[in-house]
């Protein structure tokens, strides 16, 4: 079995810039630079035959290259507390079309539809009871962050979980344009 997701990797320069934000919030588990990405579709654990079908379906997709805009900062809540700190990604039409094409391709090969609404974001940190004033200060200090990122491809990643950080491996890259 292999754990997969489809995403857009970030350029190393942006990864390094975002890693420089990793401070000021106690009990935050910051995402390492090499794991920063935008998830288009989480797949989960599949066997090798399904993984091959996913690759074949994604290789058939045609979509134009585009520019995505990383902007804003916020949290996802779990219960009544913040559990994920993120940077937003604007819902540009080309990004949404690519995400819809990925979703359609995966449903066509028999995967169940994604159960969650697509909320484009980049996970900066996982949170465990952070002090609210520190979290609010971080968000206020980074909420005006804005950077345009050229997107010329998307990637099928595998995710290997262990005791430490997950290890993401690019299994296949699919050019846009």
Full residue range of the structural domain in which residue 78 is found: 2-175
160 in active site: no
For residue 92, the tally of other CB atoms under 10 A from its CB is: 15
* DSSP assigned state of 116: S
**What's the mean per-residue pLDDT of the chain?**
95
Residue 80 has pLDDT above 80, yes or no: no
Q: Which residue has the tokens 């971080």?
A: 138
Total domains, the chain = 1
What pTM value is reported for the model? 0.94
37 in active site: yes
Taking only the tens place, the pLDDT of each residue in 155-173 is 999 999 888 789 999 999 9
Cβ atoms of 44 and 3 within 8 Å: the answer is yes
Which of 29, 121, 142, 160 is an active site residue?
Answer: 121
Pick from 171, 76, 90, 61: nearest CA to 125: 76
Taking only the tens place, the pLDDT of each residue in 28-65 is 999 999 999 999 999 999 999 999 999 999 999 999 99
Which of 29, 37, 142, 160 is an active site residue?
Answer: 37
- We report the CATH number of the domain holding residue 94 as 3.90.1140.10
């Amino acid at each position: 079995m292999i754990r997969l997701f489809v995403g857009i990797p970030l350029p190393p320069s942006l990864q390094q810039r975002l890693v420089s934000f990793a401070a000021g919030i106690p009990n935050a588990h910051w995402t390492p630079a090499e794991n920063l990405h935008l998830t288009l579709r989480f797949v989960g654990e599949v066997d090798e035959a399904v993984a091959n079908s996913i690759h074949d379906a994604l290789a058939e997709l045609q979509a134009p290259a585009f520019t995505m805009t990383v902007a804003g900062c916020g949290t996802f809540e779990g219960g009544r507390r913040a559990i994920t700190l993120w940077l937003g990604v604007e819902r540009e039409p080309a990004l949404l079309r690519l995400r819809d094409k990925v979703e359609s391709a995966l449903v066509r090969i028999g995967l169940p539809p994604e159960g969650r609404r697509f909320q484009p974001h980049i996970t900066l940190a996982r949170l465990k009871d952070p002090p609210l004033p520190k979290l609010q200060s971080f968000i206020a200090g980074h909420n005006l962050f804005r950077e345009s990122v050229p997107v010329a491809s998307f990637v099928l990643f595998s995710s290997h979980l262990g005791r430490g950080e997950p290890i993401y491996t690019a299994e296949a890259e699919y050019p846009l344009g």
